[in-house]
Amino acid sequence: MTNVLISLTAAYAAQAKARFARKTLQVEAVQERFLQELLQAHQATELGNQWQLKTIKTVDQFRDRIPVLPYSSYEPYTDRIAQGETNVLTADRVTYINLTSGSTGKKKQVPVTPQFQRTLRRADVAAMGFMFEGLQRRRLKLGKSLLTNSVILQGRTSGGIEYGPVSVGSLRQGRMLFEKFLTPPYSALQIADTLARHYVCLLFALRDPHMRGITANFPMLLLRTCCYLEHYAEPLLEDLQHGTIAPWLSLEPQLRSQLERQWAPAPKRAAELRAIWQAAGKLTPQLAWAELSYTVTARGGTSNFYFERFAEYLGNTPSFGGVYGSAEATLGIYPDFDQDGSILAIESGFYEFVPPDQWQAEHPQTLLPCEVKMGERYRILLTSYSGFYRYDIGDVVEVVGFFEQAPLIVFRHRQGGLLSSTTEKTTEFHATQTLQALQQEFNVRLEDFCITLSKTECPARYVLNVELAFGQTLDRPTQFLERFEHWMGEFNNLYRIARQGQVPPSTLRILAPGSFARVRQRQVDRGMFDSQLKFPHISEDRSFLADFGVLQEVVGAMNISVI
C-alpha cells in the first residue's frame, strides 16, 4: 500500500469523523432531519402510501401513527421484493438483500439500496477517522490487514437480486478499495472451504513482514484464525519457502490455478519465521508480524470472554470495534481502541429506545436519544432506508456515557435470550461476566462454555459445560463450581434469590477437546454463515450438548452458599 493512498484515505476519513463529531452537538435536529428526509423519500412506496407517510410532519406524529412491528409483518413485502417487485418498501432499486445470521431463528431478508448503502458508508468512514486518530495517539501506523471472510454469494432470488450476509455484500461492493488494504488477494476470499480459505489467506499474509492489522467479524473468529496459524505453522512455512500451496487443501481447481499464478516463494521470510517458530515453540500473530498494530472486531455482548485469550496470541495489541451494526442498520460508531461504548450512529438511522417497563407493551412508550440515562438498559428500535420503520432488532443495549449529546451504547444481549430454571432470567451477559471472573480467579483458560439446564429435574439445575483450552487443566473442579454459584449470584441477584429457594445446585461438565468446534461446525451445517458464527453461551435446549463426550462431571452440594 502506498503512503499516498494511506494519506488520502486518512484525510478523507478525518473529515468524515470531524463532520460526524460536529453533528453530535445537535442530535435532536440531526435525527429529525434524517427522519423527515427518509419519510419524504419513501412516501410514494406501497407501504408509504398505506401508512400515509406524506402526512407525517413531526417526530411525535411518527411515533403515534407508525406501529412497532416484528419482522413477520414485513416478510410478505420482502418476499415480493425478492421476486423482483419494485417500489414496495423503498423507492430506490434494491441491489442486494442482506440475510441475517440465523443465530436466533429463521434468516431475515433486508433490502439494500444505494441510498441505504450511503447512510451506512457515512458511519464506516467516520469510524475509520476515529481509528486513524487512535493509531496516531498511540504512535502506531495503518497498513495492510489480514481478513479471512468469504465473499461467496448465497445465491440470487427469483427476481435476480443477489443475496447473502451483509459482510459479503460490503466486500463485493468495495472490492477495489479492500484489495488495496488487504494482504490476501480477493481470489483467496472466494475459497468455499473454511480451512482452505484461512490457510491461503494466512499464507499470503505471512509473506508480508509489514502487515499491521487483523480483522474479523467477531473475537471468536479472530481467535480461530490465530489457532489456524499456530496449528498449521509447519506446512505454511514449507509453502512459503518453496512457493507451493498445500495439495491437501480443498481448493476449487480454477481458484488453485489462479492463486498459484499470484504466489511465489519467499525463502528469506520463511527462514526468518522458522527461526522464530523454533525459538518460541509456536507461531502467533504477535511473533509473525513485529509491526502488528491493531485488530478490528466486534465488542460488547460476549466479546469480553474471548478477549481474555487475546493476550496469548496478540500481546497488548489494541482492538477497535469499527461499527456496531446488524443486517438492518448500523447502530454505533466506536470512538477509540479498547472501548466498548459506541456513539449512536445518528446519520445512519432514526433510533428510539424502549425502557424495560415497556418491553411487554404492544405499543411501547419510547425515549429519544437525548432522553436516555446513563447506566440504564433499553431495547432499541430503528428506522432506516432498508424500508423498516420502528423495527425492533432484538438487541438490548446499555447506555454507558455520552459523546457530546449522543449516547454511548454497548450491546449486552438479545431480547428473549434468557435462561431460567424458575424466575431468575439469566442473560448471556451475566454468564459471560461469571466465566470471566472464574478464569481470572482460577488462572485457567477455557476454549468455550455454555450453560444449559438439567433434563429431568423440576426445577432444573444449571449445567455449566466447559472445554479447557489446549494444555490447560482444572485442578479444583469442586471449588470452581462453588465459585460459579458465587459469581452467578453476584452478577444476577435474581439467581442468588432463586438458589436460596427452589433452584437446586449446579453441575459442572468438563467436555472433551474439540467439542465446541463440533458445535460450531454443526451450526454451519445447519445453514449459519461461517463468517457470522455466534455461539450461544446459554441455552434452554436441554439436549444441546447431550451427545458430547464428558471428561469429568461434578454435581454441586446442596449446602453451597451463593451469598
Cα 52 to Cα 49, 57, 251, 380, 393: the distances in Å are 5, 11, 53, 24, 24
Looking at every residue in the chain, the average pLDDT score rounds to: 91
Its pTM stands at 0.86
Looking at residue 223, its pLDDT comes to 93
Report the alpha-carbon distance of residue 36 to residue 43 in Å, rounded.
10
Looking at residue 561, its pLDDT comes to 41
pLDDT digits (tens, 9 = 90+) for 19-42: 999 999 999 999 999 999 999 999
Strand partners, 434: none
Looking at residue 105, its pLDDT comes to 58
Q: Is the dihedral of CA 517, 522, 523, 529 positive or negative?
A: positive
Report the alpha-carbon distance of residue 338 to residue 135 in Å, rounded.
12
Looking at residue 563, its pLDDT comes to 36
Report the alpha-carbon distance of residue 381 to residue 389 in Å, rounded.
8
Looking at residue 560, its pLDDT comes to 42
What DSSP string runs through 381-428? Answer: EEE-TTS--SEEEEEEEEEEEEETTEEEEEEEEETT-EE-SSS--EEH
All residue ranges of the chain with pLDDT < 70 are 1-2, 101-105, 416, 527, 529-532, 558-563
Q: Look at residue 110 and give its three-state secondary structure.
A: strand
The DSSP element (H or E) to which 36 belongs, if any, is helix 27-42
Looking at residue 180, its pLDDT comes to 84
Q: Is 201 exposed, middle or buried (0-12, 13-18, 19+ CB in 10 A)?
A: buried
Report the alpha-carbon distance of residue 240 to residue 202 in Å, rounded.
10
Report the alpha-carbon distance of residue 516 to residue 526 in Å, rounded.
15
Contacts of 511 (CB under 8 A, 6+ apart): 465, 466, 467, 545, 548, 549, 550, 551
DSSP label of 365: P
DSSP label of 182: B
Looking at residue 304, its pLDDT comes to 84
- Dihedrals phi, psi of 223, to nearest 5 degrees: -65, -35
Looking at 3.40.47.10, 1.10.10.10, 3.40.50.12780, 3.10.580.10, the CATH number of the domain 21-112+342-414 comes to 3.40.50.12780
Residue 32: other Cβ atoms inside 10 A: 16
Q: Report residue 441 as a C-alpha cell.
A: 480467579
